[in-house]
């Protein structure tokens, strides 16, 4: 009889597993994306220091020059230096991205919160209104608004993109607010005399912020894409305002002359920026989901 | 002491279930609370205690009846609006469940100072933070908890924060809607003693709602018994516990377990039948 026979059924020796090492801090954040986006933003912000020549100056002696020592990324058909234009135009593109997002978030949060605290009938009315607006294709609406508003500047186009992109945020905010609005701390706050703004800012916003964070970040991406789409189609920013979109608009001519750098370089910058934003958005979503399950 | 602070006159509240049926949660209730008094309100679940409290705090509009607070009819829209600020600062409510009555994403400081911020009150202790710290000391917690979030605190501490929030406005009327029901017994005793101490120092009027008879007997000056929306008995605590008039009150008191096991075995539990009496 070995010792093994005395082992009781059901008792198993559990092999001790060494505790998994704590995750490194840099694994919790999308470091690469943040770094790239950070560099992009900083360089666009300080573009005056980086630019080698004036990006709007048309050097007619050097049209269509391939990337080389003098022109790092080459020049376009009008003889403008693409390296300088990238930073200069990036400033405009990012600005549009952030301003449009700020506008759409503000409208979405406000509309959603009002709809969330409204009476059932008013709420139904507001939400059907949102659905009607949502059913119109986004691009169509932007084009229409653009036509109504006339000649677009940077701020004008941000507003147009901003007021066409708030619907999905409003819907999420409305659902969240409807859940929170009957909780006791909101009732207590009302009892103390808290106004709608106070409750929105102090109680609603911190509670639904994690769930719209992802959408807000994604709105930056949507706005940048919308701007470049519009500019590419020739109804966005005029050619003399440099942005990544209006640079891509030049690619129609570039394709014929076979100058790849005119399409590839602004396109690459655009894609890298969008990927960084998407990555950050995704990790934010993962993070907030995790934190909610921890509670 | 004899001045009447709140006068509840024939208050009735119906909850509409659908177009045809309505539930009568509070039925023709009248009572007065004197200034500086602790009034207990007991009754089984669904007796309408919380509904009554919420009517008093203007969270529900009573279907009928009047509630006078210092002679102001709080159920009247116009009079309420006229004295809105005073009513909102001088009457405070403490909820049953501290987990849901304080925002989980706010720090203790912000929770306690919230009414101060809303009403733009300049406190005698300077900043809102100093005031929050003072109130926290007052309810028996130290300043280390100021920057903590509610999930990091225990249930008793959370309830203390809710109490501190209510006290930070220095109310005249404090309505506590089952403030101890969600706590365990040792914490219940702490909170009750805290209430007793605070009431002695502040002198606020206190409407204490509970279904724990022992706590009510210990804390309150007068006790009201509610049954199916009606206030069946209202008497000073000693009279009520020694000489209950209403059969329901007698039944309720007979449900208190006795500490002596021999007497407990012989204890006769009454059953109250509303149809019979």
Q: What is the pLDDT of residues B175-225, one digit of tens each?
A: 998 888 878 888 888 888 888 888 888 888 999 998 888 888 888 999 999
* Averaged pLDDT score across all residues of chain A: 80
Q: What are the domain boundaries of chain A?
A: 35-41+71-284
Find chain A residues with C-beta within 8 A of B110's C-beta: 202
Residue B153 and residue A293: Cα distance in Å, rounded?
19
Partner-chain residue, chosen from A191, A194, A202, that has the shortest CB–CB distance to B93? A191
Residue whose tokens read 């109680």: A203
Residue A91 and residue A41: Cα distance in Å, rounded?
8
Percentages (nearest 5) of helix, strand, coil residues in chain A: 70, 0, 30
Cα nearest neighbour of B114 on chain A = A189
Q: Are A193 and B118 in contact (CB < 8 Å)? A: yes
Distances (CA, A) of A274 to A95, A216, A227, A228, A260: 14, 14, 13, 12, 21
Of A17 and B257, the structure prediction assigns the larger pLDDT to B257
The pLDDT value recorded for residue B265 is: 81
Q: The tokens of A38 are what?
A: 């950070």
Q: A57 at the B interface (CB within 8 A)?
A: no
- What mean pLDDT comes out for the span B262-270? 79
* Residue B4 parent element (H or E): strand B4-16
Domains in chain B, ordered, with CATH?
Answer: 4-266 (3.40.50.300)
| ipTM confidence score | 0.81
> Is the model's pLDDT at A102 over the cut of 90?
yes
Query: Hey, of B59, B86, B91, B118, which one would you mutate to test binding to chain A, going by the most A CBs within 10 A of its CB?
Result: B118
* Residues within 8 A of A (CB atoms), B 145-184 only: 151, 165, 169
Q: A179 at the B interface (CB within 8 A)?
A: no
Q: Give the residue from B196, B145, B142 showing the smallest Cα distance to B174.
A: B196
The four Cα atoms A190, A196, A201, A204 give a dihedral, to 10 degrees, of 70
Residue whose tokens read 């006159």: B9
Find chain A residues with C-beta within 8 A of B58's C-beta: 191
Find chain A residues with C-beta within 8 A of B95's C-beta: 184, 188
Q: Are A206 and B106 in contact (CB < 8 Å)? A: yes
Q: Are B88 and A191 in contact (CB < 8 Å)? A: yes
The CATH superfamily label for domain A35-41+71-284 reads: MetI-like (1.10.3720.10)
* Residues within 8 A of B (CB atoms), A 185-204 only: 185, 187-195, 198, 202-203
Q: B92 at the A interface (CB within 8 A)?
A: yes
* Residues within 8 A of A (CB atoms), B 43-82 only: 57-59
- Taking only the tens place, the pLDDT of each residue in A47-73 is 777 777 777 777 777 777 777 777 777
Q: The tokens of A281 are what?
A: 């958005």
Find chain A residues with C-beta within 8 A of B118's C-beta: 189, 192-195, 198
- Taking only the tens place, the pLDDT of each residue in B79-120 is 888 888 888 888 888 988 888 888 888 888 889 888 888 888
Size of interface A-B (CB pairs under 8 A): 56
Q: Are A191 and B105 in contact (CB < 8 Å)? A: no
Contact in structure between B188 and B182 (CB atoms under 8 Å): no
> Is the model's pLDDT at A9 over the cut of 80?
no
The pLDDT value recorded for residue B228 is: 87
* Averaged pLDDT score across all residues of chain B: 85
Find chain A residues with C-beta within 8 A of B151's C-beta: 295
Contact in structure between B229 and B194 (CB atoms under 8 Å): no
Find chain B residues with C-beta within 8 A of A187's C-beta: 59
């Amino acid at each position: 009889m070995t010792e093994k026979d005395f082992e009781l059924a059901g008792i198993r020796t559990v092999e001790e597993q060494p505790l998994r090492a704590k995750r490194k801090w840099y694994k919790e954040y999308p470091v690469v994306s943040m770094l790239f986006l950070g560099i992009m933003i900083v360089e666009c912000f300080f573009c005056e220091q980086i630019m080698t020549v004036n990006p709007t100056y048309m050097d007619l002696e050097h049209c269509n020059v391939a990337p080389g020592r003098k022109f790092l990324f080459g020049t376009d058909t009008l003889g403008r230096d693409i390296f300088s234009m990238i930073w200069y135009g990036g400033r405009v593109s990012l600005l549009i991205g952030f301003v449009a997002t700020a506008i759409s978030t503000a409208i979405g949060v406000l509309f959603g919160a009002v709809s969330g605290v409204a009476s059932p009938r008013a709420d139904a009315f507001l939400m059907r209104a949102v659905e009607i607006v949502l059913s119109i294709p986004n691009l169509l609406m932007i084009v229409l608004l653009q036509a109504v508003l006339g000649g677009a500047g940077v701020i004008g186009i941000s507003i147009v993109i901003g007021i066409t992109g708030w619907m999905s945020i409003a819907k999420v905010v409305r659902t969240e607010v409807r859940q929170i609005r009957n909780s006791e701390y909101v009732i207590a706050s009302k009892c103390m005399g808290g106004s709608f703004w106070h409750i929105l800012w102090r109680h609603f916003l911190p509670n639904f912020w994690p769930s719209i964070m992802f959408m807000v970040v994604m709105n930056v991406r949507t706005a940048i894409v919308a701007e470049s789409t519009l500019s590419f189609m020739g109804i966005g920013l005029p050619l003399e305002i440099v942005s990544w979109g209006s640079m891509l608009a030049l690619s129609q001519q570039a394709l014929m002359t076979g100058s790849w750098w005119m399409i590839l370089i602004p396109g690459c910058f655009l894609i890298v920026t969008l990927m960084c934003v998407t990555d950050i958005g995704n990790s934010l979503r993962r993070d907030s989901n995790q934190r909610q399950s921890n509670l | 002491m004899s001045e009447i602070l709140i006068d509840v006159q024939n208050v009735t509240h119906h909850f509409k279930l659908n177009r045809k049926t309505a539930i009568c949660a509070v039925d023709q209730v009248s009572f007065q609370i004197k200034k500086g008094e602790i009034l207990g309100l007991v009754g089984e679940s669904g007796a309408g205690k919380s509904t009554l409290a919420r009517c008093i705090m203007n969270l529900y509009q009573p279907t009928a009846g009047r509630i006078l607070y210092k002679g102001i009819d709080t159920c009247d829209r116009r009079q309420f609006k006229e004295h809105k600020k005073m009513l909102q600062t001088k009457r405070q409510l403490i909820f049953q469940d501290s987990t849901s009555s304080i925002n989980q994403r706010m720090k203790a400081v912000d929770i306690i100072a919230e009414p101060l911020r809303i009403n733009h009150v300049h406190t005698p202790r300077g900043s809102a933070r100093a005031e929050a710290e003072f109130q926290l000391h007052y309810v028996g917690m130290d300043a280390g908890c100021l920057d903590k979030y509610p999930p990091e605190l225990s249930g008793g501490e959370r309830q203390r924060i809710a109490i501190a929030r209510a006290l930070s406005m220095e109310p005249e009327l404090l309505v506590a809607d089952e403030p101890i029901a969600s706590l365990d017994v040792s914490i219940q005793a702490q909170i009750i003693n805290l209430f007793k101490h605070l009431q002695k120092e502040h002198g606020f009027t206190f409407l204490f709602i509970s279904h724990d008879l022992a706590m009510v007997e210990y804390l309150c000056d007068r006790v009201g018994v509610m049954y199916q929306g009606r206030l069946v008995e209202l008497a000073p605590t000693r009279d009520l516990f020694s000489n209950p008039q209403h059969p329901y009150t007698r039944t309720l008191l007979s449900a208190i377990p006795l500490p002596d096991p021999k007497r407990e075995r012989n204890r006769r539990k009454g059953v109250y039948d509303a149809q019979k009496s």
